C-alpha cells in the first residue's frame, strides 16, 4: 500500500508520500519503477492517491485528457468535480464499483488527498470530502504518520518538515511503505 500526508501550517501547505509500490508479496521500489510517485499536480492542486496503482494512473489520465477544467478549491467544487469524474471513470475507464452494504452510494474506488493554495482536503471512495485544518494521512502507514505529525505539529517545525516526519515514521514501521519520499510545498492563499 502506501502513505500520503498533507500538512497545513503558517500559510504553507505540504504534501509528501513514500515511493513503494506493492502487489501481494511483490514490492517495487523506486529503483525498479520510474513512476513511483503517489501524487501529481493538476492546475495548482497536488493530488495524492493510495490503493490500487491504477487509481492514480486513471485519474491523472482523465484530468489531463478532458476539455473541462475540474476545480478543487472548495468542498462544493471538489464534490461536483468528483461526481463528474466518477461518471467518466465508469463510462470511459470501465471502473468496476463494488457495492458495499454499509454505504448508500457506489464507490469511485479512490482515496485522495488534495493540497493547494486553498487548503488540504480528503476525498474517500464514496466521495465524502473533509476540509482539514492541520494535517492528515491516508494509506497503510497512516496511523504511524498521524501519530508522528501530532507529536510535532505544535513545535517550530514547518509544514514540510512535519510532513516529512510523518512519511518517515510510516516508512519506519509499516511494511508497505518505503523511502525515498516525494514532497512539495505551496503557499496558502490569503
DSSP string, 120-186: EEEE-TT--EEEESSEEEEETTHHHHHHHHHHHTTSS--HHHHHHHHHHHHHHH-TT--S--EEEEE
pTM given for the model: 0.92
pLDDT tens digits along 113-167: 999 999 999 998 777 899 999 999 999 999 999 999 999 999 999 999 999 999 9
What total of structural domains would you count in the chain?
1
User: Per the omega criterion (within 30 degrees of 0), is the bond before 180 cis?
Assistant: yes
- What is the predicted pLDDT for the residue at 160? 98
Q: What is the CATH number of the domain that holds 142?
A: 3.60.20.10
Q: Give me the mean pLDDT over the 1-11 stretch.
A: 94
Domain of residue 125: give its range: 3-98+106-187
pLDDT above 90 (res 97): no
Confidence band, pLDDT 50/70/90 cuts, at residue 66 = very high
The rounded distance, in Å, linking the Cα atoms of 38 and 16 is 9
The rounded distance, in Å, linking the Cα atoms of 78 and 75 is 5
pLDDT above 70 (res 108): no
> How many CB atoms within 10 Å of residue 187?
9
Amino acid at each position: 500500500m502506501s502513505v500520503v500526508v498533507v500538512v497545513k501550517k503558517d500559510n504553507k501547505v505540504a504534501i509528501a508520500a513514500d515511493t513503494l509500490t506493492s502487489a501481494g508479496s511483490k514490492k517495487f521500489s523506486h529503483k525498479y519503477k520510474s513512476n513511483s510517485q503517489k501524487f501529481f499536480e493538476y492546475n495548482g492542486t497536488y493530488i495524492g492517491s493510495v490503493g490500487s496503482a491504477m487509481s492514480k494512473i486513471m485519474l491523472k489520465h482523465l484530468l489531463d485528457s478532458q476539455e473541462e477544467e475540474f476545480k478543487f478549491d472548495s468542498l462544493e467544487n471538489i464534490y461536483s468535480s468528483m461526481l463528474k469524474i466518477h461518471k467518466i471513470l465508469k463510462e470511459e475507464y470501465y471502473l468496476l464499483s463494488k457495492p458495499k452494504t454499509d454505504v448508500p452510494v457506489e464507490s469511485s474506488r479512490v482515496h485522495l488527498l488534495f493540497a493547494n493554495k486553498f487548503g488540504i482536503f480528503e476525498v474517500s471512495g464514496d466521495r465524502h470530502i473533509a476540509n482539514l485544518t492541520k494535517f492528515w494521512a491516508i494509506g497503510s502507514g497512516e496511523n504511524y504518520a498521524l501519530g508522528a505529525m501530532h507529536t510535532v505539529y505544535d513545535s517550530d517545525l514547518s509544514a514540510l518538515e512535519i510532513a516529512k516526519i510523518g512519511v518517515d515514521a510510516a516508512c519506519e514501521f509499516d511494511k508497505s511503505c518505503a523511502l525515498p519520499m516525494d514532497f512539495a510545498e505551496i503557499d496558502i492563499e490569503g
